[in-house]
Amino acid sequence: MLRNSLIGSLRQIKPILCSQSLRSLSNGANSGLTTIEVDDKSGIATLSMNLPPVNTLTLNLMHDLIDSINQIECNKSRGLILTSSNDKVFSAGLDLKELYKPDQERLKEFWTIFQDLWLALHLCGIPTAAAINGHAPAAGCIMATACEYRVMLPDFVIGVHATRFSFLVSKWMMLSYQSVLPRRIVERALNQGKLFSTQEALEVGLIDEVAGSKKEALAQCAAFIGTFDKANPIARTLTKRMCRDSDVTELLRDRAGDLRACVDYINTPLFQEGLSAHLEGLKEKK
């Protein structure tokens, strides 16, 4: 919807054609893996991921997230807060089972929808914030960095630890990380495969605030969204897009090339062996 129009022209505002009223958000044709609650007073929408046990980004969850982001934008909510219904995990990142000995066509679909989700979050016209109420490794962290503000609960971890199991990240994922953290910290953290504790994440600036509870985190995100009250919404949206233009263009200029590179890499023995060991490690943890 709004995001798709940007593929043609990043600087243009697409007229909002949606006709649903603000309070009538439903999950329509999606699989029900997300819920949307709109606060009557503030008009802010809370978008919760709800795929037990750990909100892995499966094809269906990513589809539902994109659908929900589009609905929230179309219904002219004042802002979007991304969070999780699970009280220990924000999101465990991409569904590793989709990457292990994958069916090639499904893998292409999977990677393409991951690109779509990143674009949907990155280009969302309204203010966005993440209430990180649990662990946020890998793509869980990338989703949070695509939002404009991050509030996290104590005693969890966040970061992109891909190199620990011989994964690479695409340049657009690195840019997302780099839009929040200084380049030298990103370089070191990506190379180390570092997962930051909540306190470390606050100290380096990966998150903006720590909250004592989910309720507080949601309130802090809402307060952040309220800071835009004096800005004209259209001017704000255009300015946000201008600020994000180079990162988004990096992906849009060659989406097919990114897809090819990822599919090729995922099919290498290096990747598959690292992934197999990682999956074993997750099983042995029990």
Ligand X SMILES: CC/C=C\C/C=C\CCCC/C=C/C(=O)SCCNC(=O)CCNC(=O)[C@H](O)C(C)(C)COP(=O)(O)OP(=O)(O)OC[C@H]1O[C@@H](n2cnc3c(N)ncnc32)[C@H](O)[C@@H]1OP(=O)(O)O
Q: Which residues bind ligand X (CB under 6 A)?
A: 53-54, 56, 88-89, 92-97, 135, 137-139, 162, 167-170, 261-262, 265-266, 282-283, 285
Nearest distance from C-beta of residue 208 to ligand X, angstroms:
22
Q: By C-beta, is 11 or 285 nearer to ligand X?
A: 285
Nearest distance from C-beta of residue 168 to ligand X, angstroms:
4
Q: By C-beta, is 253 or 283 nearer to ligand X?
A: 283
Burial 15-51 (b: 16+ CB within 10 A, else e): eeeeeeeeeebeeeebeebbebebeeeebbbbbbbeb
Q: Looking at beta carbons, which residue is closest to ligand X?
A: 93
Q: By C-beta, is 15 or 53 nearer to ligand X?
A: 53
Q: What are phi and psi of 241, to 5 degrees?
A: -65, -40
**Peptide bond connecting 102 to the previous residue in cis, omega within 30 degrees of 0:** no
Q: Are 49 and 91 in contact (CB under 8 A)?
A: yes
DSSP letter assigned to residue 197:
E
Classify residue 243 as left (phi > 0), alpha (psi -120 to 50) or beta.
Answer: alpha
Q: What does each C-alpha distance from 87 to 72, 80, 144, 225 come to in angstroms? A: 23, 19, 16, 23
Nearest distance from C-beta of residue 169 to ligand X, angstroms:
5
Q: By C-beta, is 43 or 102 nearer to ligand X?
A: 102
Q: How far is it, in rounded angstroms, from Cα 233 to Cα 246? A: 21
Q: By C-beta, is 157 or 225 nearer to ligand X?
A: 157
Q: By C-beta, is 228 or 265 nearer to ligand X?
A: 265
Q: By C-beta, is 110 or 149 nearer to ligand X?
A: 110
SS3 category, 150:
strand
Nearest distance from C-beta of residue 98 to ligand X, angstroms:
8
The token pair that represents 276 in the structure block: 């197999």
Burial 200-228 (b: 16+ CB within 10 A, else e): bbbebebbbbbbeebeebbebbbebbeeb
Nearest distance from C-beta of residue 221 to ligand X, angstroms:
21
Nearest distance from C-beta of residue 62 to ligand X, angstroms:
11
Nearest distance from C-beta of residue 144 to ligand X, angstroms:
12
Q: What does each C-alpha distance from 176 to 68, 179, 206, 225, 286 come to in angstroms? A: 21, 5, 11, 20, 33
